[in-house]
């Protein structure tokens, strides 16, 4: 008699990892507090006949910081963890996996932070290769970041989450990295920058990352031809932020290109505050909601 293998628990890291499918990407509408979480979760249905569109939950550190009146770079690990611990039980109760934004892992506190988020219930994390120091924002060296990513996976496993999902963020294309990074990443030549992204991204995947998240900053983003190149170079294991604007690629177009993961960062937070401002503007000027 053969025993059927049970599917992974829907809140587990193994299940979360399985959702990253090139060409059928995981779409994450990032949240920042209980109100935004409940709003996003309301999209799901309890009917077994209707698939639930929200398959996992991700936090956005920028939006969490903004709710506290802080810049993203000024969000302390303590404040971030307070919010993560507040959200995690509700995400688990909804039967979904939780992945969290821990910036670069807060420097030499990486082990402590990973242990804390796993203890809170997170099964994945964004880990950036851009760090802040007394000279501003600079990239961790490639060797340093590879070792840090390996450390994330090791600490997570030691704390009971052996399939922890790392979305390794590569910030080579951002203006901050270009201004001060080594490893050729400060080169103004666009082709050289993309080669550096490929070099780093492949190393991050080899270190155990599930996907590489490539971002060029709020002003630049990531260009269509770069997405296509990186999908090929990373064999589909690319994560991108959904851009806005009439010329931006849609979720379906990104899926057709072959990406594995799509998020929105603080975009839903911006959309929410815009809606509040517009409604408030109407009523204080004598209009209707």
Could you report the per-residue pLDDT of 33-84, keeping only the tens digit for each?
Answer: 999 999 999 999 777 777 899 999 999 999 999 999 999 999 999 999 999 9
Burial of 73 (0-12, 13-18, 19+ CB in 10 A): middle
> What is the share, in percent, of the chain residues with pLDDT greater than 70?
92
Q: DSSP per residue over 38-62, as a string?
A: HHHHTTS-S-TTS--S---EEB-HH
- The overall longest dimension of the chain from CA atoms, in Å, is 74
Q: Within a 10 A sphere around the Cβ of 23, how many other Cβ atoms?
A: 13
Residue 8: its pLDDT value, please?
65
Is residue 148 a contact partner of residue 203, using CB atoms and an 8 Å limit? Answer: no
Cα pseudo-dihedral 99, 101, 107, 112, rounded to 10:
-40
Is residue 87 a contact partner of residue 30, using CB atoms and an 8 Å limit? Answer: no
- Superfamily of domain 13-43+51-284 in CATH is Phosphoenolpyruvate-binding domains (3.20.20.60)
pLDDT along the chain (289 residues), means of 10: 60 98 98 98 83 95 97 96 98 97 97 98 97 81 98 98 97 77 54 96 98 90 94 98 91 98 97 97 95
> What is the share, in percent, of the chain residues with pLDDT greater than 90?
82
């Amino acid at each position: 008699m053969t025993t059927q293998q049970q599917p992974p628990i829907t809140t587990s890291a193994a299940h979360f990892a399985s959702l990253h499918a090139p060409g059928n990407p995981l779409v994450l509408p990032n949240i920042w507090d209980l109100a935004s979480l409940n709003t996003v979760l309301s999209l799901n249905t309890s009917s077994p006949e209707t698939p639930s569109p929200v398959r996992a939950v991700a936090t956005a550190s920028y939006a969490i910081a903004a709710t506290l009146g802080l810049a993203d770079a000024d969000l302390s690990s303590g404040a971030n963890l307070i919010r993560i611990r507040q959200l995690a039980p509700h995400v688990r109760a909804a039967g979904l996996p939780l992945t969290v934004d821990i910036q670069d892992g807060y420097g030499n506190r990486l082990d402590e932070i990973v242990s804390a988020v796993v203890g809170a219930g997170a099964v994945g994390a964004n880990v950036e290769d851009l760090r802040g120091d007394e000279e501003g924002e600079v990239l961790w060296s490639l060797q340093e970041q590879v070792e840090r990513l390996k450390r994330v996976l090791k600490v997570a496993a030691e704390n009971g989450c052996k399939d922890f999902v790392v979305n390794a963020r590569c910030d080579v294309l951002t203006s901050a990295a270009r201004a001060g990074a080594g490893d050729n990443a400060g080169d103004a030549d666009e082709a050289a920058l993309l080669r550096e992204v490929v070099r780093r991204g492949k190393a991050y995947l080899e270190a155990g990352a599930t996907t590489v998240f490539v971002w060029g900053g709020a002003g630049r983003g990531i260009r269509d031809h770069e997405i296509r190149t990186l999908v090929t170079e990373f064999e589909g294991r690319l994560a991108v932020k959904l851009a806005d604007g009439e010329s931006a690629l849609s979720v379906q177009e990104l899926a057709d290109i072959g990406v594995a993961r799509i998020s929105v960062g603080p975009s839903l937070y911006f959309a929410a505050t815009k809606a509040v401002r517009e409604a408030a503007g109407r009523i204080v000027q004598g209009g209707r909601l």
